[in-house]
Structure 1
Amino acid sequence: MSETVNDIRAEHDPLTALRQVSRTVHERVDQAYSRFNLSDPTSYGAFLQAHAKVLPIVEQWLATQHDLPAWSGRTDLLQRDLQTLGHSLPPALDWHPPTGAGGALGALYVLEGSRLGGKMLSAQVGEGLPREYLSAAHEKGGWPAFLQMLRERLSTGDATYRAAVMDGVTATFDLFRKAAVTD
């Protein structure tokens, strides 16, 4: 059986492997959020409220975790955008954070990756609507530096550590998906 270039790359690069494994759950999240029209104030408000059911609880948990690289939360930006639209933060969804060393790093990978997606989505936000949350990009070089650190930790960690990182990714993506499909 011949190996594809991606198979070979994933075998030697644990970050590539992580991305391949998380692709399916990420696609489910994208599908769940595709129902929102960011140019419509009502739909955009619902989009932000879905994020607000997840982001604060995950960021609060990450703030209690050790051995994470420096990161900055976006809950305050999300809350300001919601307030501008006349909404408050909704109750958080019930969440059982991942356990094991590496779980927090997986959750942070999802949140930091969402900054990239948010930056792209901010262009779809309707004229005059707040977009602080979606426009909150990484500092210059921040995303590549995070990925390099993640790659190094995945490379030096054992199989249990890599599985815990993946559990963090999956748990966080799944929570975002649930928030998008519950009203």
Structure 2
Amino acid sequence: MLLRERTRTDHDRVDAAFARFDLGDPADYREFLLAQASALLPLEAALTAAGIENIVCDWSHRQRASRILADLADLGLGAPGLLESPGFRSTAEMLGALYVVEGSRLGGAMLARRVPAHLPRRFLSDADSSRWRSLVALIDHELVAPACQAAALAAARAAFALFEAAARAQAGVRVLEH
């Protein structure tokens, strides 16, 4: 898949930025969730504003804002400061961003195993591989033209950059607090 191949380095940078958080440590887990939320919430809002529900009929089931906010509330935290999401104007851009958002869901299933059982894991435990497969099929169907592929790639890179910035910002906050 084109997006996977061309965003591999973006994905690796995000993984490295989030690797700083020890999910077995409650304080680090809180920081991890805050970082995730500061990128995910504005991305989901931007996708909704752009009309993603007209492209992905199960968008309401894919959204995870309520799950991460519930986990944060269980940990005694409110919503974090949000980063600014790029706007999405086309189907290709929305699919590129959704590729990143849905990919993070799959990664979350693996990360959930590292979180102690006494901590809330709704956000990380919401994995459904059938949603991923349907998204990949839609991307393969919709992103045929080179211009569409380029738009999707740019949006995916912007979404990855937002997650990377969120992780780095939260890690910086943690350093300043110590």
Relative to the length of structure 1, the TM-score reads 0.85
Residue number among 143, 153, 160 corresponding to 2:142 in the alignment: 153
1:26 equivalent to 2:11? Answer: yes
**What's 2:30 paired with?**
45
Residue number among 64, 75, 89 corresponding to 1:74 in the alignment: 64
2:119 aligned counterpart, secondary structure = coil
Residue number among 154, 169, 176 corresponding to 2:156 in the alignment: 169
CA distance in 2, matches of 1:38, 1:46: 9
**What's 1:7 paired with?**
none
**What's 2:132 paired with?**
143
CA distance in 2, matches of 1:18, 1:45: 30
**What's 2:95 paired with?**
105
Higher radius of gyration, 1 or 2: 1
Unaligned runs of 5+ in 2: 174-178
Unaligned runs of 5+ in 1: 1-15
* Aligned pairs for 1:86-101 within 5 A: 86-101=76-91
CA contact (8 A) 1:98 1:167 kept: no
CA distance in 2, matches of 1:35, 1:91: 20
Residue number among 110, 114, 130 corresponding to 2:120 in the alignment: 130
CA distance in 2, matches of 1:99, 1:23: 24
Task: Report the CA distance between 1:127 and its aligned residue.
Answer: 2.6
Of all paired residues, the percent bearing the same amino acid is 38
1:120-166, Cα deviation, whole Å (9 max, x unpaired): 1000001300000000112x6222121111111122xx221111100
AA of the residue aligned to 2:81 = P
> Relative to 1, partners in 2 of residues 1:54 and 1:39: Cα closer, same or farther, differing over 3 Å?
same
AA of the residue aligned to 1:149 = L
* Bigger fraction of residues in helix: 2
CA distance in 2, matches of 1:166, 1:160: 10
CA distance in 2, matches of 1:142, 1:99: 23
Relative to the length of structure 2, the TM-score reads 0.87
Question: Alignment length, in residue pairs?
Answer: 165
CA distance in 1, matches of 2:81, 2:101: 19
